[in-house]
Amino acid sequence: MENSSPIVIGCDHAGFALKELIKDYLTAMNCAVSDCGTYNDGSVDYPDFAAQVARKISSGQYLRGILICGTGIGMSMAANRFPAVRAALCNDLFSAIMSRRHNNANILVMGGRVIGPELAKEIVRAWIETPFEGGRHQSRIDKMSCMGT
């Protein structure tokens, strides 16, 4: 994990506690983290924070991001509206690994009201460490990049 690229992270109130924990987990592993908020558990709107993180991925400023809300559903819906964003909702380990191997996911989304801290840490570690397989999976991703235009 020492050589992983910096991570941009964001959450809403329902993801705040887990975001703080994951931020500490990444920092302890020498992974640089840029925190876009929210910074407390007061009620906020998840699209505002999804947009902050997704914009930084879409522009190429960061290669990897993490978003956390209550279920992960709203954050993934919002983030995937941005060009070149491939946000994957992964509340289990297998999905996290496959989202990297096959989908080259650049944003990991989790639900702070769905999974516990230990599973979330395992998911984050696996997601960061698993490489994209490329090949036939790249051409499938290429097909998505021009969809709807």
Provide the residue type at 32 as one letter. A
Q: Kindly give the pairing relationship between strand 87-89 and strand 107-111.
A: parallel
Phi, psi of 29 (to 5 degrees): -100, 20
Stretch that binds ligand RB5, among 51-59, 65-73, 94-102, 118-126 (CB under 6 A): 65-73
In angstroms, the CA 48 to CA 46 distance is 5
- Per CB under 6 A, the list member of 70, 102, 104, 132 interacting with ligand RB5 is 70
10 lies in the site for ligand RB5, by CB under 6 A: no
- Only one of the segments 25-33, 34-42, 69-77, 118-126 lies at the binding site for ligand RB5 (rule: CB under 6 A); that segment is 69-77
The minimum distance between CB 75 and ligand RB5, in angstroms, equals: 6
Give how far the C-alpha of residue 141 lies from the chain's centroid of Cα atoms, to the nearest Å.
17
Query: In the annotation, is 146 catalytic?
Result: no
Looking up tokens 């699209």 gives 47
Q: Which of 7, 8, 9, 14 binds ligand RB5 (CB under 6 A)?
A: 14
C-alpha neighbours within 13 Å on the C-beta side of residue 83: 5
Nearest alpha-carbon partner for 96 in 70, 72, 74: 72
Is residue 74 at the binding interface for ligand RB5, with CB under 6 A as the rule? yes
Q: Is 102 a catalytic residue?
A: yes
Residue carrying the six token digits 């279920």: 71
Nearer to ligand RB5, 33 or 73 (CB): 73
Whether the CB-CB separation of 123 and 96 falls below 8 Å is answered with yes
Q: With binding defined as CB under 6 A, does residue 69 bind ligand RB5? A: yes
Task: Single out the residue of 16, 26, 46, 121 in contact with ligand RB5 (rule: CB under 6 A).
Answer: 46
Which residue ranges make up the site for ligand RB5 (CB under 6 A)?
12, 14, 46, 69-71, 73-74
Residues labelled catalytic: 69, 102
